Structure 1
Amino acid sequence: MKASKSFQWSDHKLAKTLMACFVSLTPPAASLADEHLLDTLQVHGFLSQALIVTDENNFFGPSSQNAGSAEFTELGVNASLRPHQNVLVAAQLLSRRAGGDTSDARPTLDYGVIDYQMISNQARTLGLQAGRFKNPFGLYNQTRDVAFTRPSILLPQSIYFDRTRALGLAADGVNVYLEERLPSGTLRVVSGVGQPQTGSLLAKQLFGDTDAHVSSSSLSAISQILYEDQNGKFLAALSAANVKLDADLAGNAADFSFQPWIASLQYNEELWSLTAEFALRKQSLEGDNLPRDLDITGHSWYVQYQRRLTPSWSWLVRYDSLVNNIDDRSGRKYEQSGFGPAHSQFADDVTFGLQWTPNARWMLAGEYHHVNGTGWLPSQDNPDASTTRQHWNMLLFQLSLRF
């Protein structure tokens, strides 16, 4: 997480006034050091508001009713400070509403780390982050909250689930990163351990059971190795995690394990980019007297083509596929067991998107989704899965600002 240079606190008139007052009240010996410290302070933020319209099912609010749902809002403020040339302190507060109650938009700590670089030279960088760090998961997870860093309004839901977003987003612990600058390109390795974020709705999303509770237990681990050639044209990454949670289902204790692997590839030319990611996800649930067993392996993949028409206009097309259980691709066994409709176990999504960025601060985006299946449909917006429809369409419009 590198702080943006788009907004320098020391360049802001109000900040200069406050700093001048502060310096005038401090002893002369400390004033130069304090002024230098404030010169490293950077603050920026973003705001996004979306309108979502669906013909069937609901996504992020009552999107299938009346004029759609405006219950997808993202507001973040980010700050970083460098107290020493090898130490960076950075944090971000995020207020995010994606359907649900207005109280869901309470500001939370999105990330907050102390970043210490033991080695930093032309050949390599070796550092450590402690605190709440964004999980190095796939190509987009670490920057997924900022609309300007996403290729579309919604990331491919088969891999970057919004319905279980808290679990994959961040962890409280430490990670170590190494960047080796090779003659042919750059190799980055990140590995961390920490407590995953759970969120109040995670049990419902994972198990489809309202009488369930999830809390993090033992430390979980995540790692990523990424290579990018020196021209930035080719990028390849492999991400893996081992997440363990404590769960309570209908009063019965259970151990939940989630082990995803993601392979990522991207090729970039001046006017277009081609991106593909494939994931294998193993889930297991162990315990006595559980209302259901869970020992499945699912897979996900997508292929995405982006085209830059002008410096301010771009479009994309994407095919995104999700299967919850490779031994029950159609979901028929799931339905026959009485757990829910078969179409809740898969989703195939064809997406067309368009973005207009007239300047560095504003962006207007729109996209259309044609979906077969409800495998990534949020259950909080659709509490009765039996009433959902297998085939549905979705339109999204989003206005974004950053400063």
Structure 2
Amino acid sequence: MIVSKSFRWSDPRSITAMAAALSLVLSSQARSDEGVLDTLQVHGFLSQALVITDENNFFGPSSENEGSFKFTEIGANASLRPHEDVLLAAQVLSRRAGGDGSDARPALDYGVIDYQILSNQQRTFGIQLGRFKNPFGFYNQTRDVAFTRPSILLPQSIYFDRTRSLGLSADGASVYAEERFNSGIVRFKGGLGTPTTRDLATQLFPPDLDTQVGGETSSIAQLIYEHNNGRLTAAISAADVNLDINLGPSDGELNFQPWILSLQYDMGNWALTGEYAIRNLSLSGSGAIRGSDITGESWYIQYSRRFYDNWQWLIRYDSLVSDISDRSGSEYEMQGLGPAHSRFAEDITMGLQWNLNPRVLLAAEYHHIDGTGWLPLQDNPDPSETERRWNMLLFQLSLRF
């Protein structure tokens, strides 16, 4: 997401840093120029979902009784422009997604000081300092707000919810640029920082292990081309993510390198979207940390159609393979590491959205899944007890102001 001088609220460091920055601005600038407060923008949103599965659990005990209500998102964001070229923006999010609910404590989703060095009719260039949203794929930078998602759940092969914190944001610095042509727009965003790792340990490793995961210096970049006012959009995203792993006396390092190609053709009342990712994941260490080096593959294709003034439906096929050299997971199972179906997932999704008005959204969707490659470990601590084929039904109410 690129921030223009007319943009009111936007991307993405710590709450303390943003509070200090805001205090400084309000104490020095507001006294001399009360008009600064006129640029203050505050927005918020709330989403509550019901998740029902016939097998396995997703975001809570979804396969029991009437399902799970443990999928809640509550957020508030604010922005202030103390100078024509400077924007302060931050968002605090409380998100419960299964587990014991401890992850629902409010946390800084993003918080940046954005300085726009150059902006004219032809080009824009700026820099952001703080906690910035990672630019990859079409949806990652706006994934927290239900109104910006085409479905309740984004394609899990690309936008993993179980490792959401890793892909969401990073603490550091990013630059963005935009070049406008007669036929279209080219946008670039790249960042260098430390990835957030909140609650990541229990998603990468069995919850009963006392595992610590910390972020190390990582990089990410994305290049987007929009042709003919967004009729055709193409993007390529790449990252080099580094983590430190501590498992008791054992130490290790994890390196994750995804490449994502994104394409969308949008005719206004319908859109065809597809994304393809190739992911290299290497883990090195000693003791209890088992070294590995695998390459995974993800892709989806999605057709969405808008009808009447406020309805949209979609159908999507989504595929995930954890290791392209062992697509069926049979070798993984033969080594006694877990069930074969935990190494892949094929998901057929059908969804429906109804915007009652600009502030209220109702959504429902159905998933038929073969495989458990993206099931949250915290809700399914014993993979051997999961079922290969399962179905999921979701309903969601979303509000915003």
Give the secondary structure class of the aligned counterpart of 2:64: coil
Kept after mapping to 2: 8 A contact 1:185/1:228: yes
How is 1:2-401 mapped onto 2 (pairs within 5 angstroms)?
Answer: 33-34=33-34, 36-200=35-199, 202-208=200-206, 210-401=208-399
How many angstroms apart in 1 are the aligned matches of 2:37 and 2:372? 49
Q: Which shifted more, 280-289 or 311-320?
A: 280-289
Code of the residue aligned with 2:33 in structure 1: it is A
Q: CA deviation at 1:249?
A: 3.2
Code of the residue aligned with 1:146 in structure 2: it is V
Cα offsets for 1:236-267 (capped at 9, x unmatched): 00000000111123521111100000000000
Code of the residue aligned with 1:33 in structure 2: it is D
Structure 1, unmatched stretches of 5+, are 7-25
Kept after mapping to 1: 8 A contact 2:205/2:211: no
How many angstroms apart in 2 are the aligned matches of 1:63 and 1:349? 17
Q: CA deviation at 1:270?
A: 2.2
Code of the residue aligned with 2:388 in structure 1: it is Q
Code of the residue aligned with 1:277 in structure 2: it is E
Give the secondary structure class of the aligned counterpart of 1:357: strand
TM-score (norm 2): 0.92
| Inter-CA distance 207–283: structure 2 relative to 1 (3 Å threshold) | farther
Deviating 4+ runs (over 4 angstroms): 1-6, 29-32
How many angstroms apart in 2 are the aligned matches of 1:332 and 1:205? 23
Q: CA deviation at 1:30?
A: 7.0
How many angstroms apart in 1 are the aligned matches of 2:211 and 2:288? 13
Code of the residue aligned with 1:261 in structure 2: it is W
How many angstroms apart in 1 are the aligned matches of 2:129 and 2:315? 38
Code of the residue aligned with 2:44 in structure 1: it is G
Kept after mapping to 2: 8 A contact 1:224/1:237: yes
How many angstroms apart in 2 are the aligned matches of 1:315 and 1:83? 42
Code of the residue aligned with 2:257 in structure 1: it is Q
How many angstroms apart in 2 are the aligned matches of 1:166 and 1:84? 32
Q: Which residue of 2 aligns with 1:10?
A: none
Q: CA deviation at 1:172?
A: 0.2
Code of the residue aligned with 2:296 in structure 1: it is G
Kept after mapping to 2: 8 A contact 1:4/1:44: no
| Inter-CA distance 217–103: structure 2 relative to 1 (3 Å threshold) | closer
Cα offsets for 1:113-168 (capped at 9, x unmatched): 00000000001000000000000011000000000000000000000000000100
Kept after mapping to 2: 8 A contact 1:116/1:129: yes
Code of the residue aligned with 2:276 in structure 1: it is F
Kept after mapping to 1: 8 A contact 2:196/2:215: no
Q: CA deviation at 1:32?
A: 7.0
Cα offsets for 1:217-246 (capped at 9, x unmatched): 531000000000132100000000000111
How many angstroms apart in 1 are the aligned matches of 2:236 and 2:271? 19
Code of the residue aligned with 2:361 in structure 1: it is M
Q: Which shifted more, 189-198 or 101-110?
A: 101-110
Q: CA deviation at 1:292?
A: 2.1
Cα offsets for 1:172-218 (capped at 9, x unmatched): 00000010011211000111000001123x23432447425343353
| Inter-CA distance 248–32: structure 2 relative to 1 (3 Å threshold) | closer
How many angstroms apart in 1 are the aligned matches of 2:56 and 2:135? 32
RMSD: 1.9
How many equivalent pairs are there? 381
| Inter-CA distance 255–209: structure 2 relative to 1 (3 Å threshold) | farther
| Inter-CA distance 312–198: structure 2 relative to 1 (3 Å threshold) | same
Instruction: Determine which structure has more spread, i.e. the larger CA radius of gyration.
Output: 1
How many angstroms apart in 2 are the aligned matches of 1:175 and 1:311? 38
| Inter-CA distance 362–5: structure 2 relative to 1 (3 Å threshold) | farther
| Inter-CA distance 48–217: structure 2 relative to 1 (3 Å threshold) | closer
TM-score (norm 1): 0.91
Give the secondary structure class of the aligned counterpart of 1:73: strand
Q: CA deviation at 1:104?
A: 1.9
Q: Which shifted more, 37-46 or 225-234?
A: 225-234
Code of the residue aligned with 2:385 in structure 1: it is T
Structure 2, unmatched stretches of 5+, are 10-26
Kept after mapping to 2: 8 A contact 1:236/1:264: yes
How many angstroms apart in 2 are the aligned matches of 1:209 and 1:101? 12
Q: CA deviation at 1:4?
A: 7.3
Code of the residue aligned with 2:239 in structure 1: it is A
Q: CA deviation at 1:5?
A: 5.6
Code of the residue aligned with 1:376 in structure 2: it is W
Kept after mapping to 2: 8 A contact 1:4/1:42: no
